[in-house]
Structure 1
Amino acid sequence: MQARAVASALQQMIEYDKTGFVPLHVAGEPLGCVNQQWLQRLQAEYSSLFRLEQGVLTALPAAHDFAERSRQLAQTATQWRDAGWLNGWRNEKFMAYFQDGTPCFEMERAAFRPLGLTSRAVHLNGLTRMPDGEIRMWIGRRSPFKDVAPNRLDNLMGGGIAAGETLQVALEREGWEEAGIPASKLELLPQAALLLAERPVARGLHREWLHVFDVWLDTQEIPQNQDGEVEAHLLMPLAEVEQHLINGQFMSDAALAAIDCMARLGYWGQDAALDALLAQVRAPIGSDIAIR
């Protein structure tokens, strides 16, 4: 076991220089963060929608309700796409929430990162106990034809929660599409963890609440991808998962979910450095709406 190396990898995933980002407020509440490149773009081209005042970027000053905020941002995101500022357009909307859980607006998911908005996702760790008692983990290898992170390693399943979609519906939909897990296997599954993934990316700031679940599969239950996103599912000993985590072969959010799962299983025992890092990203289940 290599707890120190895993802690070092985890530290690189979750710690970054925040000084280059400006907080974004909507209707008086902090909802995102914008890097310097996007700050300059918004001030130069969209000053009527985004105003910098005393170090805070205020968005949509004239929009007073959910529908109007969503309308203005849909139009703006389309303009960003047409100008070549956005890639990965999905024609799928995510929801941004006020801190009390009230929806603030919905917006194309590709535009969340430029504004540093917090999205939500479900991740599923697949675990199998072998006849000799050893615990192994199901790991997905992404298709080499994926536009995002081809051939990288993933959890059994991971996917975003769309606007208007419940956590349970997203879990069951993604569980079937990515791993062929029937809804009956997931409908009463308790949530195991809530993690905040946050890191700079080329498009801006990735910030996402990961709703993490663990599902135990019998040795006869073999995941089967349905939508072409996953090339193969591999049943790995935890020591092999650990080495792939250290080598950086996982997608970042999947790595976070896998490390958390292995820590909860007691794989590294009590390791103060690793536990302290995980404490930075763990949150009480159900508290994902408020931004910390």
Structure 2
Amino acid sequence: MQLQAVSSALEQIVCYDQSGYIPLEIAGQRIGCVNQAWRERLLSLESDIFREEDGVMKALDDEAGFAERSATLAAAALRWREAGWLNGWRDEKFTAFFNDASAAFEMERAAFRPLGLTSRAVHLNGLMRMPDGEVRMWVGRRSPFKDVAPNRLDNLMGGGIAAGETIQIALEREGWEEAGIPPTRLELLPQTALLLAERPVPRGLHREWLYVFDLWLGAGEIPQNQDGEVAEHVLMTLAEVEQHLVNGQFMSDAALTAIDCLARLGYWGDDEKLHALLARVRGVVGTDTAGR
């Protein structure tokens, strides 16, 4: 086992310098943050919407409703794309939430990172117990044609929760699209972890709650990608998974999910540093993360 190297890799995933960001308030509630590059862009191009007061970026009046906020920010996101500030445009919307878990607005998912908004995603660990009792993990390798992290290793499945979707609907949709898992195998699957993935990215700040599930597959259940986004699924020993984590071959969110899974399986025992790092990003399963 390479516990020290895994702890170092996890530390790089969960720790970052927050000093380069300023808070963002929308309709009077603090729900995001922006870096200095986006601060300058918003104040120059979007001064009709965004302003800075006492070191806080503010946007939209308290009186604006969900539809008005969504329309205003959708138009702004289109301007950012036209200005060449946004890549990875998906024509897919995420929902941003206020602190009381009410929906604040919907926005193109590519525009969430510039505003440091919190998105949500489902991740599925695929586990298999061998005849001798050994536990192995199904790992996906992303398509070489993916815009984001091509050829990197991933969980059995991982995908964002689109606007209007429930966690369960997203789990079943992504489970089928990425791994060919029938919805009936997932409809009563209990959630096993809740993790906050947060890190700087070129577009701004990635901040996402990961709703994690563990699926134990039988010998005849072989994952089969349906949408072309996964090149292959490989059944790995936990030692192989560990080595790939140390080598940095996993996507960041998938690495966090896999480390949490192996820790829950007791693979590294009760290492104090590792569990302290995980405690920083673990939420309480079953709680509503909207707005947090």
* Category of TM-score, reference length = shorter chain: over 0.9
Aligned counterpart, 1:141: 141
Q: Please give the residue correspondences for 1:1-292 in structure 2 after superposition, counting only pairs within 5 Å.
A: 1-61=1-61, 64-285=64-285, 286-291=287-292
Question: Aligned partners of 2:87, 2:108: CA distance in 1, in Å?
Answer: 11
Aligned residue identity for 1:162: A
**Would the aligned equivalents of 1:96 and 1:106 in 2 still touch at CA under 8 Å?**
yes
Unaligned runs of 5+ in 2: none
Question: Aligned partners of 1:246, 1:114: CA distance in 2, in Å?
Answer: 29
The CA deviation at 1:290 is: 3.5
Question: Aligned partners of 1:203, 1:242: CA distance in 2, in Å?
Answer: 29
**Would the aligned equivalents of 1:194 and 1:288 in 2 still touch at CA under 8 Å?**
no
The CA deviation at 1:289 is: 1.5
State the secondary structure of the residue aligned to 2:280.
helix
**Would the aligned equivalents of 1:49 and 1:61 in 2 still touch at CA under 8 Å?**
no
Question: Aligned partners of 1:244, 1:63: CA distance in 2, in Å?
Answer: 50
The CA deviation at 1:45 is: 1.2
Q: RMSD in angstroms over aligned alpha carbons? A: 0.8
State the identity as a percent. Answer: 71
The CA deviation at 1:199 is: 0.2
**Would the aligned equivalents of 2:123 and 2:157 in 1 still touch at CA under 8 Å?**
yes
Q: How many positions carry a matched residue from both structures?
A: 291
**Would the aligned equivalents of 2:101 and 2:288 in 1 still touch at CA under 8 Å?**
no
**Would the aligned equivalents of 2:24 and 2:30 in 1 still touch at CA under 8 Å?**
yes
The CA deviation at 1:63 is: 5.6
Structure 1 length as normaliser, TM-score?
0.98
Runs of 4+ in structure 1 off by over 4 angstroms are: none
Aligned residue identity for 1:65: G
The CA deviation at 1:146 is: 1.0
Structure 2 length as normaliser, TM-score?
0.98
Q: Deviations over 1:255-276 (max 9, x none)?
A: 0000000000000010000000
Question: Aligned partners of 2:28, 2:4: CA distance in 1, in Å?
Answer: 42
Question: Aligned partners of 1:147, 1:289: CA distance in 2, in Å?
Answer: 28
**Would the aligned equivalents of 1:23 and 1:34 in 2 still touch at CA under 8 Å?**
yes
Deviates more, 1:239-248 or 1:58-67: 58-67
Question: Aligned partners of 1:31, 1:179: CA distance in 2, in Å?
Answer: 33
Question: Aligned partners of 1:34, 1:129: CA distance in 2, in Å?
Answer: 45
